[in-house]
Chain A
């Protein structure tokens, strides 16, 4: 399975009595986008956070680039080449735009390389360059999302976990975010894309997984999933 960058098998996540994720298995192929779909509370974010090392796994395994990373700490997952743009963006509001990128660059051993990446990202997302000295908390939702993605890219990941990047954004901005997803894939970054907006996610995805009540309800090619009544049910079930 040399072409699988992420392989999750039989993942269970529990919060006390709540069984949030039940035996979820999914994979992301090299250079591809896997869309993880489902209603609010279906277990999407719990799944992604468990992969990132930020939620305890009750059972299951996570293999990243062929290595077993089950139960690894978030810091080590990042060093394995995985970055996350988390749900809710979670930018550091009291730091400037540039300082948000500097903090994310702390993981890069070479300071000059980190500075180069910062410059490149501020060119790639010109709005961040323009607002580099502004407090990140004062950015608009879309700009904060750009920052969250740019911050994730500071570690030059080979696998990006994108959790709800379009949530709460204006339609124009949503289009821009999905353009970015396609650009990143073209650059060879594999992506696990968590989305509520199933229609758009299925347009860019190479593979799709639908969660309902914490378990996989359907998985397969995006075209097949788009026409699968399970998808509609998964969203109505919540």
Chain B
């Protein structure tokens, strides 16, 4: 029983990271129609932000805040430098642009910092655990869950209660109409990238706090899973991205925990098979986006 509960905690913790990354991808896609393959590098950049601030002697909490800030800055910078010029271009052109941005950043990380993992030493207390009754719960997964749930709750409030948030939802439905009402396109797009950076930064915090190192490929693999999550949830659907993130994280942890040893090389294959099965029955995803798209 304890084992099951611990695995559920792990699943929510990993699912939360995927959910934040998937939501960042979805919010940009829903507005700009860009599938941002450089999203993983936003997360990695946040990780290096944490590494460098710690290396310069900043206290851990400050370093984490710098990491989140760095992710927001790089997200805004890539929009300004690469994607703004491509606005209105077709999906394929945008996709290739984001591949280019992704590769450039990876090479910059390799050449300016290190191709190998660099250590991030956070207080030992953060990697310890505590007991609730008979159950041992890690501090890392707890932080991860708290950060993910607060980020998701905060974003929900922002999207529902503030005029800017409403404009973001309106933009996802019909961006041209929003501009025809006088809302500045650049501002909406920049806000979308800032939010995606914020979420990727939060993911970087959670990820590095649990793994204790950063390397140039740090963001690549979790974002790959987040892509799967967005497709599973329904491309462009924000609620779907969050749900997809938790589902993918959940399946991954459960296969890790309960699958016989002999099947473990097939873990990713099993996760993907589940996704394919889900898409066979719901081709538009679990929670499809409202089709505000116009020809």
Which 5 residue pairs are nearest across A and B when measured between Cβ atoms?
A: A78-B182, A107-B182, A74-B179, A90-B177, A92-B170
Residue of B nearest to A52 (CB): B180
Min CB distance, A223 to chain B, in Å? Answer: 33
Count B-side interface residues using an 8 Å CB cutoff.
Answer: 20
Min CB distance, B88 to chain A, in Å? Answer: 10
Residues of A within 8 A of B (CB): 52, 54, 73-75, 78-79, 83-84, 86, 90, 92-95, 99-100, 102-107, 151-152, 154-155
Q: Which residues in chain B, 97-118, are within 8 Å of chain A measured between CB atoms?
A: none
**A78–B292 CB distance below 8 A:** no
Question: In the complex, what residues of A have CB within 8 A of residue B166's CB?
Answer: 95, 99, 102-103
Task: Tell which of A106, A151, A152 touches B167, judged by Cβ atoms closer than 8 Å.
Answer: A106
Question: In the complex, what residues of A have CB within 8 A of residue B182's CB?
Answer: 74-75, 78-79, 104, 106-107, 155
Task: Tell which of B163, B167, B174 touches A90, judged by Cβ atoms closer than 8 Å.
Answer: B174
5 A–B contacts from the bound complex (CB under 8 Å)? A78-B182, A86-B177, A103-B166, A106-B181, A151-B181
Q: How far, in angstroms, from A105 to B170 measured CA to CA in the complex?
A: 13
Q: Which residues in chain B, 175-198, are within 8 Å of chain A measured between CB atoms?
A: 176-185
Question: In the complex, what residues of B have CB within 8 A of residue A54's CB?
Answer: 176, 179-180
Q: How far, in angstroms, from A99 to B165 measured CA to CA in the complex?
A: 10
**B174–A92 CB distance below 8 A:** yes
Question: In the complex, what residues of A have CB within 8 A of residue B185's CB?
Answer: 73, 75
Main secondary structure of the interface of B (DSSP, over half): helix
Question: In the complex, what residues of B have CB within 8 A of residue A83's CB?
Answer: 181
**A94–B169 CB distance below 8 A:** yes
Is B173 an interface position by the 8 A CB rule?
Answer: yes
**B163–A106 CB distance below 8 A:** yes
Task: Tell which of A92, A103, A152, A155 touches B163, judged by Cβ atoms closer than 8 Å.
Answer: A103
Task: Tell which of B163, B174, B176, B181 touches A78, judged by Cβ atoms closer than 8 Å.
Answer: B181
**A94–B290 CB distance below 8 A:** yes
Question: In the complex, what residues of A have CB within 8 A of residue B167's CB?
Answer: 103, 106
Residue of A nearest to B292 (CB): A93
Q: How far, in angstroms, from A223 to B187 measured CA to CA in the complex?
A: 47
Min CB distance, B246 to chain A, in Å? Answer: 22
**A95–B169 CB distance below 8 A:** yes
- Best-buried of A84, A99, A105, A155 by chain B (most CB within 10 Å): A99
**A105–B180 CB distance below 8 A:** no
Question: In the complex, what residues of A have CB within 8 A of residue B164's CB?
Answer: 106
Given A75-B185, A102-B166, A105-B163: A93 touches B290 (CB 8 Å cut-off): yes
Question: In the complex, what residues of A have CB within 8 A of residue B179's CB?
Answer: 54, 73-75
Q: How far, in angstroms, from A100 to B183 measured CA to CA in the complex?
A: 12
**B180–A103 CB distance below 8 A:** no
